[in-house]
Amino acid sequence: MIYQCGACGKTTFEKCCSSEKRGDDGWGGSEAVAALIPLDPSFYPEFQYQSKGLLRDLLGKKREQASLNDILNSVLRKYSELKQPYFTNFIHANKSMDGAGESESPPGARVDGVYSDRELFREVLIRKGFTELEGIPVLLDKLLKTTYFNSVYSGFSRELSRHIKPRLSDTLASWIEEAGTTFRSDLALFFYFVWENDCGYEGVEFNKDAESSVGVPLLSKQALDGFMKLCEKIYFDLLVNRMSAQLENFNPNKFVTMYLVDAMDGFQFEAFLVEIFQTIGYDVKETKKTGDQGADLFVSRFGKNIVIQAKNYSGVVGNSAVQQAISAKTFYGCDEAMVVTNSYYSKSAKELALSAGVRLVDRAELQSYLDDYNQKMIEGFYEEDSMEFELD
């Protein structure tokens, strides 16, 4: 019913991702189809009968499909029982979804004695009774993707629920205003939410067979393309309105430039980052100024807790800042760590951050945050002026 592309990560209702490279026939080869993984175990190809010819289909299809259904029911039962805490905790402990395919190696000990986290996790599950992983090793990667999708979708749903309006166009406008260009990759998720919560919008007709039939899209590609055009129009109008507000309400004295940030001291920089992250939609908590174990700020969004190390430097930021962020993430048990600076990072700092999964925000990216912040300030001034006009 909903699929995820292994190449680009996009969710879609179609069995072939439109962003995949098309084949010579213009429709994409078998690799494009194979790259998409159903995010519901009931739809995994391993549990669907594969034709073996007319005669064999007549003689053995029902019996083999019944056997596959038994295996599927067993997998779904065990997955439901083990999803908490095993699958979910493994997702939280291993943030990267890289390494798909590792679980296809034979289970058990090997002569080389080198094992990935996924192989060890698979062995844990096998010993817990998940014996299907011995016969279908690729099943682990698919179940992890399903678990990861459910985790991400849960956060997406909480955010989207705040934008639901009586009319579809109003809901899309509210959502796009906050989500920005991510609507282009998340539109299928949007309509998945609309379907799941039975919002009943006029003009949105879901395929009733999609829930029970493999390969049947929830919304046709033609319908989804039509809604994408509507989203693009909404986004274009939003940009035009923002430009109009900026031109009408521009006040250089109320803008924060990077040069003003450069003039801040460390405490002022931290305080300003609180405003920045609050403005772009994060919940923010400052730490005490001493004994903070490398943490300057804590921010959270979509259920993830992130620790931030702030560095207002005139020179290049080195390994020390990244090491402090790593220590703070471990000490406070956060999901992610980030370093934010008005400067740039050394090559070794970038390498350390990459290996440790620490996100680095440098001067260029901080400037984009500043742009968003200033735009929000403009919109705030515009709303205040509008209110004053209405009161008059």
CB 38 within 8 A of CB 141: no
Residue with tokens 């006029």: 202
Average pLDDT over residues 88-111: 68
Tens digit of each residue's pLDDT (9 = 90 or more) over 251-288 = 666 678 888 899 998 888 988 898 888 877 788 876 65
Q: Higher-confidence residue: 389 or 363? A: 363
**pLDDT score of 250:** 63
**pLDDT score of 249:** 67
**pLDDT score of 167:** 95
- Average model confidence (pLDDT) for the chain? 81
Average pLDDT over residues 71-76: 88
**pLDDT score of 287:** 60
Closest CA to 205 of 183, 227, 231: 227
Using pLDDT thresholds of 50, 70 and 90, give the confidence band for residue 34.
very low
The mean-pLDDT minimum among 134-143, 202-211, 284-293 falls in: 284-293
Question: Is the pLDDT reported for residue 24 higher than 50?
Answer: no
Using pLDDT thresholds of 50, 70 and 90, give the confidence band for residue 317.
very high
**pLDDT score of 59:** 78
Using pLDDT thresholds of 50, 70 and 90, give the confidence band for residue 360.
very high
**pLDDT score of 22:** 39
Q: What percentage of the chain reaches a pLDDT higher than 70?
A: 84
Q: What percentage of the chain reaches a pLDDT higher than 90?
A: 26
Average pLDDT over residues 162-191: 92
**pLDDT score of 172:** 96
Burial classification of residue 3, based on how many CB atoms lie within 10 Å of its CB (0-12 exposed, 13-18 middle, 19 or more buried): buried
Average pLDDT over residues 297-322: 88
Using pLDDT thresholds of 50, 70 and 90, give the confidence band for residue 390.
very low
Q: DSSP for 62-122, please give it.
A: HHHHHHHHHHHHHHHHHHHHHIIIIIHHHHHH------TTGGGSPSS--SS----HHHHHH
**pLDDT score of 114:** 82
Using pLDDT thresholds of 50, 70 and 90, give the confidence band for residue 81.
confident
Tens digit of each residue's pLDDT (9 = 90 or more) over 182-217 = 899 899 999 999 999 999 999 999 988 888 887 788
Residue 66: count other Cβ atoms within 10 Å of its Cβ. Answer: 10
What is the C-alpha separation between 89 and 83, in angstroms, rounded? 8
**pLDDT score of 319:** 92
Question: Is the pLDDT reported for residue 351 higher than 50?
Answer: yes
Token reading at 342: 């008005």
Q: Higher-confidence residue: 56 or 39? A: 39
Using pLDDT thresholds of 50, 70 and 90, give the confidence band for residue 33.
very low
Task: Tell me which range, 39-53, 102-116, 196-210, 376-390, is most confidently predicted by mean pLDDT.
Answer: 196-210
One-letter amino acid identity for 239? Answer: L
**pLDDT score of 104:** 61
**pLDDT score of 67:** 87
Token reading at 251: 């006040």
Average pLDDT over residues 50-67: 81
Q: What share of the chain is helix, strand, coil (3-state, %, to 5)?
A: 55, 10, 35
* CATH number 3.40.1350.10 is the correct assignment for the domain at 258-375: yes
Average pLDDT over residues 24-50: 64
**pLDDT score of 233:** 96
Q: DSSP for 135-195, please give it.
A: H-TTHHHHHHHHHHHHHHHHHHHHHHHTT--SSHHHHHHHHHHHHGGGHHHHHHHHHHHHH
**pLDDT score of 231:** 96
With a CB cutoff of 8 Å and minimum separation 6, the contacts of 145 are 4, 37, 39, 97, 100
Locate CATH 3.40.1350.10 in the chain: 258-375
Average pLDDT over residues 296-323: 88
Using pLDDT thresholds of 50, 70 and 90, give the confidence band for residue 316.
very high
Average pLDDT over residues 308-335: 90
Q: Higher-confidence residue: 236 or 21? A: 236
